[in-house]
A and B are shown apart, each in its own frame.
Chain A
Amino acid sequence: MKPIRSSLVAVTVLVASSGCTSTDGADAGDPSASSRAARPGPVFEVGAAFPTLALPALEDGRPSSVADYRGKKVILHVFASW
């Protein structure tokens, strides 16, 4: 078993270069262009603040974010158990 999967990833490593943050081709004047590609979303990028989006804590469902850990060095692991 291999819950933290680390294989078969056909994408580049740098998140900031992935399509999910691209605004290429966006047409702000066209309502249909208000799409995923046209909406700059959260960015993981060296040198930028990590998104402080609030998410429920697994422990108790209460709101939390990486901002709660300011003042400490943090190693953040984004993963899934599948």
Chain B
Amino acid sequence: MHVPGWHEATAALQDAGEVQMLGIIQEQHPDRARLFMQWKEMGWPILVDSYNLLEVPYVPITVALDEAGVVTKLLGPLQDEGPLGSDFVAETFPAGEGAGASPPVVPDLESLAQTARAESSPESWRAFGDAVAVWGGPDRATDAIEAFEEVVRATPDDGLAHFRLGVAYRMRYDSEGRRDADFQKAVAHWGTALEIDPNQYIWRRRIQQYGPRLDKPYPFYDWVPTAREEIAARGDVPSPLVVEPRGSEFAEPVEAFATADRPVAEPDPLGRVLRDDGEFIAVETTAVPSAVPPGEVARVHFTFRPIVEQLAHWNNEADDMVVWVDPPEGWDVDSPMTVYSVPPEMVSQETRSVEVEIRAAPSAEGDVTIPAYALYYVCEDINGVCMYRRHDLDVEVSIER
């Protein structure tokens, strides 16, 4: 675990009330930062900047502010042992530009929305989008999506708007109000943002969070299980997470793409298993990134949700769920058959996620559809019939030109 050196160096000053610690997090899921802070017993106030409204180019950055809110020191990512101790407290600073400005007020979202619709300019949509992104929260992700869609339609080279649009889509995907392809749209807009500015660290990390292991610099949320264990060992209750990290968010980086060691028999080669065409289980398939160069790797996320309107639910009394991916000639998959271990309960209604990585053929071009299917036991309603079903899936991967 790495806590900046100045944190300890300034502990006494914090305790004496001579320095106020403050954090700003660049995080799609801010509740994870809450768990982290609890784990490290760092009780600072934290502000949430999921949409990167501060236009932070990378993290971590440490900023020393004087009593007037003026920046007196900036420490970048490789300098976190910097001089932020008693010298900073003792020093006096001249008042800088903007000192004494009034604290901001909460904007009138409805007024901003009316203005945006009346003017229909990228500036007014951007103003509404930024405001509703912050003050509307996940409940108004659809408004943020509308606003940022208007911005990127008018100004398609606005990388910030593409990034924020991606954040809003992913936010809605993580909510009960999710719509088809929300996650794929998030990934596509993050990809566009990164094309516009390949050096934007925050944007790159947001894609890498969900992307293939070859492209990962480190596991992103590998600390979560340890944090929970250590918090519980202290006798505290770990702060809950709205969205559990999974798959790519835990995956270790690799230096080379690897396929399964030995051939695996296809579970339903003749396609005889009765189909679920989406009556019982809704499936969303997302490739990250949306487009890859020939010979490169995408990570494919399959998400399976029982359709609650049908009272559909999993039956876990027999076999595990499996996902089979059948790549075209010249393509590779890291695991053609993935086994999802069902929970111990006889029936359940959880969302299931399976992730595989696919390497495009060196000669691949255009938009490619890769056939796949899932096999599972599903029940029609609480007292209904349980059947073994096959759900055919199409994995769409675009090849960069």
Interface of A with B (CB < 8 Å)? Answer: 1-16, 18-21, 31-32, 34-37, 39, 41-42, 44-59, 61, 63-82
Interface contact A76-B63, CB-CB below 8 Å: yes
Interface contact B223-A3, CB-CB below 8 Å: yes
Q: Please list 12 pairs of residues, one from A and one from B, whose beta carbons are closer than 8 Å in the complex, sorted by A's number.
A: A1-B219, A5-B218, A7-B217, A19-B199, A20-B55, A20-B57, A32-B157, A48-B96, A49-B101, A57-B46, A74-B21, A74-B64
| Chain B residues, CB < 8 A from A2 | 1-2, 218, 223
**Minimum C-beta distance from B103 to chain A (A):** 4
In the complex, A41 Cα to B164 Cα: how many Å? Answer: 14
What does DSSP make chain B's interface, helix, strand, loop or mixed? loop
**Minimum C-beta distance from B10 to chain A (A):** 6
- Whether A35 touches B60, Cβ cut-off 8 Å, given contacts A77-B21, A82-B221, is no
Interface contact A66-B65, CB-CB below 8 Å: yes
B308 at the A/B interface (Cβ < 8 Å)?
Answer: no
- How many chain B residues sit at the interface, stated as a range, is 35 or more
Interface contact A73-B67, CB-CB below 8 Å: yes
Interface contact A61-B157, CB-CB below 8 Å: no
CB < 8 Å: which of B56, B104, B220 contacts A78?
B56
| Chain B residues, CB < 8 A from A73 | 18-20, 64-67, 88-89
Give the 4 A-B CB pairs with smallest separation, nearest first: A49-B98, A13-B76, A1-B223, A58-B46
CB < 8 Å: which of A1, A36, A57 contacts B45?
A57
| Chain B residues, CB < 8 A from A71 | 67
Interface contact A74-B46, CB-CB below 8 Å: no
B400 at the A/B interface (Cβ < 8 Å)?
Answer: no
Interface residues of B in 19-44 (CB under 8 A from A): 19-27, 30, 32-37, 44
Interface of B with A (CB < 8 Å)? Answer: 1-4, 6, 10, 18-27, 30, 32-37, 44-49, 53-80, 84, 88-89, 96-106, 122-123, 134-135, 137, 154-161, 196-197, 199-201, 205, 209, 217-223, 226
In the complex, A39 Cα to B164 Cα: how many Å? Answer: 15
Interface contact A68-B103, CB-CB below 8 Å: yes
Interface contact B59-A46, CB-CB below 8 Å: no
| Chain B residues, CB < 8 A from A21 | 55
| Chain A residues, CB < 8 A from B72 | 46
| Chain A residues, CB < 8 A from B30 | 58
Interface contact B71-A55, CB-CB below 8 Å: no
**Minimum C-beta distance from A78 to chain B (A):** 4
CB < 8 Å: which of A6, A19, A48, A81 contacts B32?
A81
In the complex, A48 Cα to B33 Cα: how many Å? Answer: 28
| Chain B residues, CB < 8 A from A52 | 69, 98, 101, 103-104
In the complex, A7 Cα to B201 Cα: how many Å? Answer: 11
CB < 8 Å: which of B36, B60, B79, B200 contacts A77?
B60
